[in-house]
Structure 1
Amino acid sequence: MNALLLSAWFGHLRILQLLVNSGAKIHCENKDGLTLLHCAAQKGHVLILAFIMEDLEDVALDRADKLGRTAFLRAAEHGQLDALDFLVGSGCDHSVKDKEGNTALHLAAGRGHLAVLQRLMDIRLDLEERNVEGLTALHAAAEGIHPNCVQLLLGAGSNVNALTQVARPPHNCCLPLATEL
């Protein structure tokens, strides 16, 4: 990470402004493909997001990192409701999926971010959208052991009997126990 990305990551607006005014390249990314927007969104720094969108030129709102995640998906994954709201208000693509086919609903539900999940449902994302393994947001919430998210999704009409498209055992529950030698 360079100094510019670090200032966005840690929410240091004044440092970010100083670096930009000193000629820092604003279209930089780290080895994972994270840009200024990704860093600020993941950490929930709305003032940084506002500076990037309002004061910098040619910033791609829906640019994906190496996992195929936009700033919107990063905000959802990390439970950053205010950042998510800012990005939605800025006109980001709500229907975007990462390389594994996960939507913002999958990422928020799988991590147990109830408030973000509610907001995503408020903007009418498809509850039955499937990722590449055929998992819905309900599957992600159940697999992540987040009962509040499961309850919220069920209350919103998620299909309780939806089947995955790929056969695989659930996390750790069916793995054989290691025996001592």
Structure 2
Amino acid sequence: MLNVVELLLDAKAETEIAPFGHLADDLNITGWTPLYAAMKSRKFEVVKLLLKRGANPNAVTKLGSTPFLLASEICDLDVIEACVEAGADLDFAPSGKDADNLNITGQTALFMATLKERFDVVKYLISKTAKVNVQNRYGVSPLLLCAESGNKELVQLLVGAGANVNITPAGELAEENFLAGQ
């Protein structure tokens, strides 16, 4: 597979072409670049090759995700590092109706890594100056997630990186989330 992708890239295949239209919408692949598709299918050697050849880790799909956010959700540190080296936006947060429907609005790469309790990934993202005081649409911050789960190591890491220990949920759905007991 890697050899085929390499041949296509050598023949000047476009790395930013993505499907669109009704059929792509029906298949939920609108905006999937080759990089996003490789990431989704966990073909990490292809991902690294595409990144080296200039694929954009910040290309946004119709549903508001990017290859970098997907890498953060998968939590493979090598792939995350490759995305950052290729210019990934550490603080990109999805927004919009589709992101709302998927409950990913406001969730940055750091937020995703915190959800997965991946100390190594969180530490790496912080070392690359990811913002630690971000909040999702429910007003939840990475520190709040760690405190709630009891992950002392991540709490210490985030606080050491400047996370606001007095941060309170704020956002369009923070009050609704609080009233629901979440």
Tell me if TM exceeds 0.5.
Answer: yes
In 2: Cα distance, 1:55 partner to 1:124 partner: 25
Residues 170, 157 of structure 1: alpha-carbon distance in 2 compared, 3 angstrom cutoff = farther
In 1: Cα distance, 2:168 partner to 2:107 partner: 16
Match of 1:98 in 2: 94
Aligned residue pairs total 159
Residues 126, 32 of structure 1: alpha-carbon distance in 2 compared, 3 angstrom cutoff = same
Match of 1:31 in 2: 28
Pairing of 1:138-177 with structure 2 (within 5 A)? 138-143=143-148, 145=149, 147=151, 148-165=153-170, 166-167=174-175, 168-169=177-178
Match of 1:86 in 2: 82
Correspondence 1:65 to 2:54: no
In 1: Cα distance, 2:179 partner to 2:164 partner: 19
Residue pair 1:102, 1:130 contacting (<8 A) in 2 also: yes
In 1: Cα distance, 2:178 partner to 2:122 partner: 25
Residues 108, 15 of structure 1: alpha-carbon distance in 2 compared, 3 angstrom cutoff = same
One-letter identity of the residue aligned with 1:77: E
In 1: Cα distance, 2:179 partner to 2:75 partner: 24
Residue pair 1:44, 1:75 contacting (<8 A) in 2 also: no
In 1: Cα distance, 2:125 partner to 2:154 partner: 12
One-letter identity of the residue aligned with 1:72: F
Correspondence 1:52 to 2:56: no
Match of 1:14 in 2: 3
Match of 1:40 in 2: 38
Match of 1:121 in 2: 126
Residue pair 1:111, 1:141 contacting (<8 A) in 2 also: no
Given the alignment, which residue of 90, 109, 112 partners 1:107?
A: 112
Structure 1 position 118, deviation (Å): 0.7
In 2: Cα distance, 1:72 partner to 1:98 partner: 12
Residues 37, 60 of structure 1: alpha-carbon distance in 2 compared, 3 angstrom cutoff = same
Residues 109, 45 of structure 1: alpha-carbon distance in 2 compared, 3 angstrom cutoff = same
Q: TM-score, normalised by structure 2?
A: 0.69
Residues 159, 55 of structure 1: alpha-carbon distance in 2 compared, 3 angstrom cutoff = closer
Determine what percentage of the aligned residue pairs are the same residue. Answer: 26
In 1: Cα distance, 2:43 partner to 2:61 partner: 18
Which is higher, the Rg of structure 1 or of structure 2?
A: 1
Residue pair 1:13, 1:48 contacting (<8 A) in 2 also: yes
One-letter identity of the residue aligned with 2:36: H
Q: How big is each residue's C-alpha offset from its partner over 1:111-143, in whole Å with a ceiling of 9 and x where there is no partner?
A: 212211111100111111222222221123345
Q: How big is each residue's C-alpha offset from its partner over 1:145-176, in whole Å with a ceiling of 9 and x where there is no partner?
A: 261433321333322221102122499xx59x
> Comparing 61-70 with 20-29, which one deviates more in the overlay?
20-29
Where in structure 1 are there 5+ consecutive unaligned residues? 1-11, 176-181
